[in-house]
Amino acid sequence: MSTFRALHRALMRAEARDLSTVVLLLVTPVILLVLLTAVLGLDDGSGSTNTLAAGTITMTVSFSALCSGVTHILAWRMNGVLGLMRTFPISNGALLTAQALTGLVLAAAQVGLLLIIVDLPTKGLDITSRSSAAIAPIVLGYFAFFMLGVLVANLTRSIATSAALAILVFALLLYGGAVIYPIDQLPSAWHTLAPFSPFYQFHESVSVSLSGVLDWSGLARSLAALAALAAVLFVAGRTALRWDTRSA
Amino acid sequence: MARCAAGHVPADNTKQPVGAHKGSVVNSLRTPALLMEGVSLRVKNRLLLSDFSLRVDKGTFHGLIGSNGSGKTSVMELAVGFRKPTTGRIEILGSAPTPRRPALLRRIGIAAQNPGFLPRSSVREHLLSIAEIFGSTVRDVDILLEALMLEDCVDTRVEEISVSERQRLAVASAVVHRPEILFLDEPTANLDHEARRNLVSLLRSSNIIGTTTLYTTRRLDEIETLCDEVTILDKPDTFAQPRRYFAAERAMPLPVFGGWR
C-alpha cells in the first residue's frame, strides 16, 4: 500500500468515527434546502429549485471545506498529530491532499443526500445526466476552500482567531463573489473583481451544471478559473504549512 | 554511575573535536549516521546551543544526558530537521535534514517527548497504519505490542490510553518500520520498572539488528545499560555548552527480545 493511500485510509477512519460532525454535515444542508424550498414554494417545476439547490450546494460545500481546512490543522497542532505527521515520509502537499480527499468523500455524500432528499418530496428538482457535470466544480471547489482554510489556520495561532478570520474570509468571498446579490445589480467594479472569488466561479459552474440548459463553453471557462484558483491556493497552503505544534 | 567519572572525559575538552575520544581512530574510518558540526541555535534572542558538535557512528547507541533545559530536545530536533540551526552543519545518513525530505524520513524513526497519534484509532490500528504509511511490513506489529506490554489495550482508542501506554506506543510507532536511525527523546520518563526494563530490552535488540540510536535521558542507569557512547550536555549560567564526550562500555547484559530479529 502506498504512503498516500495508507494515510488517506487512516484519516478516513478518523473522519468516519467523528459521528457528530458527520451527522451535522449531512443533516444541516438538507434541512436548510427543504426549509427554503417549502417557504419559497419552489415546487412548480420551473427550475427554481435547481437554482436554489446550486446555491445551497455551493454554500455548504465551501463552508464545510473551509472549516475542515481550519479545524484539522488547528486540532492536529493541539493534539500532537501534526508532530506525528511531520515524521511521515510524505510531502506537505500530499498530506494536505490526503485530508482534502477525505473531506471530499463526506462532501460528496452531503451533496448526494441533499439532491435525493430535495427531489423526493418536491419533485421540483430537474436532475438529468448532464447534472453530473456538477461533480468537477464540486471537487475543485472543495479543494480550493479546504486550502483556503489551511492558509487561515497557518496565519493564526488560536482557535478563536482562526474561527473569526474564517468567517470574515467566507463573508468577504460570499459578497465579493456576487452570490448574495445578482451581479447585474452590483457596481461595475464588482464585475471585474467577482470572477477572482472562488465563490463566484464555484457558484457559476454548479449553477450552469444544474440549470438544465448546459452551456459547455461557460462551464469550461468557470472550471478553468476554479482550477487555477485551486492550484494557487494549493501551492500557498502547502508552502504556508507550519509544522510546529505550539499553539495559543 | 562511576563510568561517567572524569576519568573517561578528556582533560581539556573545551575544544575537543567530535569523535576525539578513545577509539577515535576506528571511528574516523566509519561513516557517521549523524554529524553535527559547530551547530548553534538561537530562538527569539535566546541561545539554546552554542558551537555544538556531535558524531554518531552507524550502528552505535549514543546517549545524550543532561538536566532539564540543557538542550537535549533541541539537539534531537535539529538532528531530525524539525529546527534549522542558526549556524553550523548537520548531516543525517549523508543528507542535510532540512528542507524536509520524505525519502530521508522513511529511514528515520522518531519518538518525541509529547507524542501524537492518529486520531480516533485503536492502539493496533494506529500501529498498523504507521507501518503501512512507512511502506513497511506489518508483521512486527504484534511482536511490538507484546514486547511493550500493550496487549491489554490493543483495541482501546489512543485518546483513552494512559501516559505510560502512550509513551510505549510512541516508541513502537518509531521502530515499527525498522528505521536505520532512531531518535528517542526520554522514552522512559513515565514508565514503571517493568515497562522500562522491557523497553530497554527492546531497544537493545533493535541496536543489535543495526539500528543507530540517539537516546536522550536523565537516567544514568539507562546510559550504562544501553549506550556505546555518551554526550553530556551541561548548562552553565547562560547557555548550553556541551563539551564532555566519552566512551562508555555496556555494563549489564540484557536479554535480547526474541521476536525482534
Highest mean pLDDT among A168-172, A198-202, A232-236, B149-153: A232-236
B→A contacts (Cβ < 8 Å), by residue, are 80, 82, 100, 102-103, 105-106, 108-110, 112, 114-121, 125, 129, 132-135, 173-174
Q: Closest CB to B116: pick one of A9, A17, A84.
A: A84
Q: Which of residues 69-98 of A touch B (CB under 8 A)?
A: 75-76, 79-92
At B8 the pLDDT is 30
Per-residue model confidence (pLDDT) at position B3? 30
Whole-number pLDDT of residue A125: 62
Higher pLDDT, B116 or B1: B116
User: ipTM, 2 decimals?
Assistant: 0.83
Gap between the Cα atoms of B67 and B233, Å rounded = 8
Share of chain A above pLDDT 90, in %: 35
Instruction: Report angle CA B84, B85, B91 to the nearest 5 degrees.
Output: 85
Q: How confident is the model at residue B111 (pLDDT cuts 50, 70, 90)?
A: very high
Of A175 and B79, the one with more pLDDT = B79
Q: Which residues of B103-115 are buried (b: 16+ CB within 10 A; e: fewer)?
A: ebbbbbbbbbbeb
The type of residue at B108 is I
Residue B129 has pLDDT above 70, yes or no: yes
Q: What is the pLDDT of residues B41-100, one digit of tens each?
A: 998 888 888 888 899 999 888 998 888 878 889 999 999 999 999 999 999 999 999 999
pLDDT(A244) > 90: no
Query: Does B36 score more than 60 pLDDT?
Result: yes
Whether pLDDT at B256 is above 70? no
Q: Which of A212-216, A222-226, B154-158 has the highest mean pLDDT?
A: B154-158
Give the mean model confidence (pLDDT) for residues A186-200: 81
Instruction: Give the pLDDT of residue B192.
Output: 83
Residue B26 confidence (pLDDT): 46
Under the banding of pLDDT at 50, 70 and 90, the label for residue B208 is low
Q: With 0-12 CB in 10 A as exposed, 13-18 as middle and 19+ as buried, what is A102? A: buried
Q: What is the pLDDT of residue B253?
A: 43
Nearest to A86 among B82, B120, B129 (CB): B82
The arithmetic mean of pLDDT across residues B15-30, rounded, is 43
Query: In whole angstroms, what is the distance from residue A179 CA to residue A51 CA?
Result: 12
Full-model pTM: 0.82
Higher pLDDT, B246 or B6: B246
Report the residue of chain B nearest A3, measured CA to CA.
Answer: B133
pLDDT in tens, A32-47: 777 776 776 655 555 5
- The residue with greater pLDDT, B257 or B190, is B190
pLDDT confidence band for B16 (50 / 70 / 90): very low
Name residue, grid cell 501534526. A82
Crossing angle of helices A3-16/A92-122, nearest 10°? 40
A40 touches chain B (CB under 8 A): no
Place of cell 535539529: B78
Dig out the grid coordinates for B158 from the structure.
489512543
Mean pLDDT (chain A) is 83
